[in-house]
Amino acid sequence: MDAALPAFISGSEAGIQQAAQLLQSGHCVAVPTETVYGLAGDAMNEAAVRQIFAIKSRPFIDPLIVHLHDFDQLHDLTQLNESQLTAARRLDEAFWPGPLTLVLPKHERVHDLVTANRDSVAIRRPAHPIMRKLLEASKLYLAAPSANPFGYISPTTAQHVRDSLNERCPHILDGGPCESGLESTIVDLREPERPILLRPGPIGKEMIESVLGVEVSLPAPTSDSSLAPGMLERHYSPTTRLLLHPAGQLPSVSEVEARIYLKRPPFSDGKHDYWLSESGELPEVAKNLFSLLRTLDALEGIQAIHCEQPPPGPGIANAIRDRLGRASKR
């Protein structure tokens, strides 16, 4: 380990206490969640929130997700009418704690920095046991974007956070590799009769539709960026060029190119062949995707990465295609 870099904080009870104290005294701590690692700070502490933006080099126009422990804490952070509360409660019963973020009308006590001056706030109740214990021990609401430099691939291990934020983020709570490996599904629930899918993720649109009993629409392609400010065309991107191919149609490649298969090929003739899963199971593909992109991005002498895309499909297939699409944009 590089001596200049601090040790990880372990996910033990003592480690969680230490992280909780750091957060309570206004420091930022990178934290594990079931989706990706987040860069957490006390959502009610303006200086801590500013620090999150600074560490990530994130523009102030891109609002943060606030994480909470109990559903009832929603009342502290949002101002809901009856139908918004009913819809949120249904989704809570079905998917929380878990990889779902809801955009709701904000309570005035939520700082404008957190929401980038909008009148809505994004809320998530995460499932990772260490993150839940941390929320409980700290008694804080934690603002946490993914713990990567703005625009780069999200981190799914503590080491990824250290690799790309290094000394800018001295406190990293290690909770092992993230279970789902893709960021949460984001749904705008301000009009519960017309929910909008702002970001596809581990919880499929169809799953949300079946719980709410209404259709979930996609943001209109022409809609201005104020609806889904973080949904940039290019995002989650490796520095090395990424090229996408339909499954089963990877080209032959030169020595300076890598290939990514969705599942282990029966035989491979490439020097730089990699795969995202043994059997092609999409949850496994999702879990390994960002990690493999980071590994290949760091390889010397690789000038292009060719990757298979899963065919269009519900749920996680859609989320994987979304992330690959953005990661491959120049």
Choose one: 138-146, 161-169, 247-255, 285-293; the region binding Mg ion (CB under 5 A).
Answer: 138-146
Confirm or reject binding of residue 146 to Mg ion (CB under 5 A): yes
Determine the 3-state secondary structure of 65 from DSSP: strand
**For 244, what's the count of Cα atoms within 13 Å in the CB-facing half-sphere?**
16
- State how far the Cα of 180 lies from the Cα of 41, in Å rounded to an integer: 22
Confirm or reject binding of residue 35 to ligand TXA (CB under 6 A): yes
Question: Using CB distances below 5 to 8 A depending on partner kind, what does residue 123 bind out of Mg ion, ligand TXA, none?
Answer: none
- Size of the chain in residues: 330
- State how far the Cα of 235 lies from the Cα of 34, in Å rounded to an integer: 20
Looking at residue 131, its amino acid is M
Choose one: 225-233, 250-258, 270-278, 314-322; the region binding ligand TXA (CB under 6 A).
Answer: 225-233
Nearest Cα to 104, choosing from 124, 82, 126, 79?
Answer: 79
For 310, phi then psi, to 5°, come to -70, 150
Q: Which residues pair with 275 in a beta bridge?
A: 261
Which of 77, 88, 130, 186 binds ligand TXA (CB under 6 A)? It is 186
CA-CA-CA-CA torsion sign (192, 193, 196, 202): positive
Confirm or reject binding of residue 237 to Mg ion (CB under 5 A): no
Query: 258-280 burial, b for 16+ CB within 10 Å, e for fewer?
Result: bbbbbbeeeeeebebbbbbbeeb
Question: What is the contact mask toward ligand TXA in residues 119 to 138, using x (rule: CB under 6 A)?
Answer: -xxx-x--------------
Number of residues that bind ligand TXA (CB under 6 A): 28
Question: Using CB distances below 5 to 8 A depending on partner kind, what does residue 315 bind out of Mg ion, ligand TXA, none?
Answer: none
Confirm or reject binding of residue 111 to ligand TXA (CB under 6 A): no
Question: What is the contact mask toward ligand TXA in residues 226 to 245, using x (rule: CB under 6 A)?
Answer: --xxxx--------------
Which of 30, 43, 48, 65 binds ligand TXA (CB under 6 A)? It is 65
**Distance in Å, CB of 183 to Mg ion, minimum:** 6
Distance between start and end Cα atoms, the chain: 33
Determine the 3-state secondary structure of 307 from DSSP: strand
Confirm or reject binding of residue 33 to ligand TXA (CB under 6 A): yes
Which of 19, 74, 142, 144 binds ligand TXA (CB under 6 A)? It is 144
Which of 51, 84, 115, 237 binds ligand TXA (CB under 6 A)? It is 115
Closer to Mg ion by Cβ: residue 161 or 253? 161
Question: Using CB distances below 5 to 8 A depending on partner kind, what does residue 277 bind out of ligand TXA, Mg ion, none?
Answer: none
- State how far the Cα of 111 lies from the Cα of 107, in Å rounded to an integer: 9
**Distance in Å, CB of 211 to Mg ion, minimum:** 25
Q: Which residues pair with 258 in a beta bridge?
A: 305
Q: Are 204 and 314 in contact (CB under 8 A)?
A: yes
Question: Using CB distances below 5 to 8 A depending on partner kind, what does residue 195 bind out of Mg ion, ligand TXA, none?
Answer: none
For 188, phi then psi, to 5°, come to -80, 115
Instruction: Report the interface residues with ligand TXA, using CB under 6 A.
Output: 33, 35-36, 38, 62-65, 99, 101, 103, 115, 118, 120-122, 124, 144-146, 183-184, 186, 198, 228-231
Instruction: Report the interface residues with Mg ion, using CB under 5 A.
Output: 146
